[in-house]
Amino acid sequence: MELNRRTVIAGAAAAGIAATALGGVAEASTSGGKKPTKKVFGTLADGTEVHLWSLANGGTRLKVLDYGGIVQSLEIPDRRGRYTNVSLGFDNIEDYVAKSPYFGALIGRFGNRIGKGQFTLDGKSYQVDVNDGANSLHGGSKGFDKHVWSVEPFAKGSDVGLYLRYTSADGEMGYPGTLKVKVTYTLTRHGDWRIDYEATTDKATVVNLTNHVYWNLAGESSGTIYDHELEIDAARYTPVDSGLIPTGELARVAGTPFDFRRAKTVGEDIRVAHQQLLYGKGLDHNWVLDKGITSRPAPVATLRDPSSGRTLTISTTEPGLQFYSGNFLDGTLVGSGGTVYRQGDGMCLETQHFPDSPNKPNFPSTVLRPGQTYRSTTVHSFDC
């Protein structure tokens, strides 16, 4: 019989079995989690201590660094109750600082690319930091992933979580306005990991926040994700040029490798000789979610590892989803589990507004003005 993870956890609770007996931690019960705890993870070159926060609730265990708000580890059970870490990362701060391809990190001020790092807003031209060929990627060379955030833990009702705060100074990485950012990571009693983003500014600016977890639902050191089954509720995607900047077109996925409207494996079409796959060295594109922008998170994608049964469902308020199939992992990084990461060993599903929106009048706007509050929510639900 295949067991659903909630059945496993609830069944254990009913039988009075500690979740540890299932490979879980004591906090992994349905009765609500304990307040997060922290320990020192490492020290930055300037002497700043970096902390690792541990949270557990509803059968999910999450470890988060104050550096970059990085998810260093996320453990969930398989259909037999066996836990593994399903997110790629490092076991030391030095590697995160020196060579992380955004493993698990909060991304800002602008997730994804801005062509040539240039845009015009209210008649004024801005040049932001260029760090990806001719373009700006994920907020520039020192984005939100490379700052220490202030962290405040909470346990409210049946939820546990962290408030992460960072204030980006006017002009940082070339962006206008003092941007005050608050990100809330919540683990719910069902073990969902929810992210709520909020930001305000004192000058008109552009904002596009996301998180860059690399998923491998079979475990972070288990090989490629090509056997994972993926469904994305999107009839269109945004094709790109050779620098991965959208052309502006909203192209139909029908009849292309980009059609994930019915679940198929990530690997099924990844070697099709399609110009867009050559540009991305695989899949590295933004899907135009059918549901559009919503005030509440709505389900948009499901990722399933058939071998373990672990399933991730993503719900979001955002209009876009960047699916990146780990194409630039090239065997030069040693992960937290002690093995080398190679191409396709993890994949990202980044909820967001579309890349290069500040230069694409036909894309949903990423402009934030004084007096407004930027809000975005994404929920990661797990099952098995």
| Closest approach of ligand GLA to the CB of residue 136, in Å | 11
> Which positions from 207 to 246 touch ligand GLA by CB under 6 A, shown as an x/- string?
-------------------------------------x--
Site for ligand GLA in 124-143 (CB under 6 A): 137
How many residues interact with ligand GLA (rule CB under 6 A)?
9
Lookup result for tokens 């997060």: 36
| Residue number, 33 or 320, with CB nearest to ligand GLA | 320
Is 190 one of the catalytic residues? no
| Residue number, 103 or 226, with CB nearest to ligand GLA | 103
Cα dist from 375 to 87, 183, 207, 250, 352, whole Å: 25, 10, 10, 24, 11
> Which positions from 68 to 107 touch ligand GLA by CB under 6 A, shown as an x/- string?
---------------------------------xx-----
| Residue number, 149 or 324, with CB nearest to ligand GLA | 324
Burial of 237 (0-12, 13-18, 19+ CB in 10 A): buried
Give the active site residue among 285, 318, 350, 353: 350
| Residue number, 200 or 325, with CB nearest to ligand GLA | 325
Residue 284 interacts with ligand GLA (CB under 6 A): yes or no? yes
Order of strands, sheet of 83-85, starting from the edge strand that comes earlier in the sequence? 37-43, 49-57, 60-65, 71-77, 83-85
| Closest approach of ligand GLA to the CB of residue 138, in Å | 6
| Closest approach of ligand GLA to the CB of residue 322, in Å | 6
Two tokens, residue 123: 């008649």
Two tokens, residue 328: 């630039």
Give SS3 for 275: helix
Compute the C-alpha angle 220/222/228, nearest 5°. 90
Stretch of 114-122, 164-172, 306-314, 320-328 contacting ligand GLA, by CB under 6 A = 320-328
3-state secondary structure 73-132: EEEEECCCCCEEECECCCCCHHHHHHHCCCCCCEECCECCEEHHHEEEECCEEEECCCCE
Q: Tell me the backbone φ, ψ of residue 247, rounded to 5 degrees.
A: -75, -15
Stretch of 26-34, 168-176, 321-329, 356-364 contacting ligand GLA, by CB under 6 A = 321-329
| Closest approach of ligand GLA to the CB of residue 345, in Å | 13
Residue 145 interacts with ligand GLA (CB under 6 A): yes or no? no
CA distance 47 to 161: 27
| Residue number, 210 or 381, with CB nearest to ligand GLA | 210
Residue 314 interacts with ligand GLA (CB under 6 A): yes or no? no
Among 328, 370, 372, 373, binds ligand GLA (CB under 6 A): 328
| Residue number, 25 or 333, with CB nearest to ligand GLA | 333
Is 268 one of the catalytic residues? no
| Closest approach of ligand GLA to the CB of residue 29, in Å | 35
Among 54, 322, 336, 378, binds ligand GLA (CB under 6 A): 322
Two tokens, residue 32: 């609500």
Stretch of 219-227, 232-240, 322-330, 335-343 contacting ligand GLA, by CB under 6 A = 322-330
Q: Which residues contact 382 (CB under 8 A, 6 or more apart)?
A: 5, 59, 60, 76, 191, 192, 193, 310, 311, 312, 313
| Closest approach of ligand GLA to the CB of residue 97, in Å | 16
Q: Tell me the backbone φ, ψ of residue 234, rounded to 5 degrees.
A: -150, 125
| Residue number, 186 or 325, with CB nearest to ligand GLA | 325
CA distance 185 to 252: 34
Two tokens, residue 42: 């490492």
Q: Write b or e for each residue in 165-199: b if 16 or more Cβ atoms lie within 10 A of its Cβ, otherwise e.
A: ebebeeebbbbbbbbebbbbbbbbbbbbbbbbbbb
Give the active site residue among 138, 212, 228, 285: 212
Question: Where along the sequence are the contacts to ligand GLA (CB under 6 A)?
Answer: 101-102, 137, 244, 284, 322, 324, 328, 348
Give catalytic residue positions.
212, 350
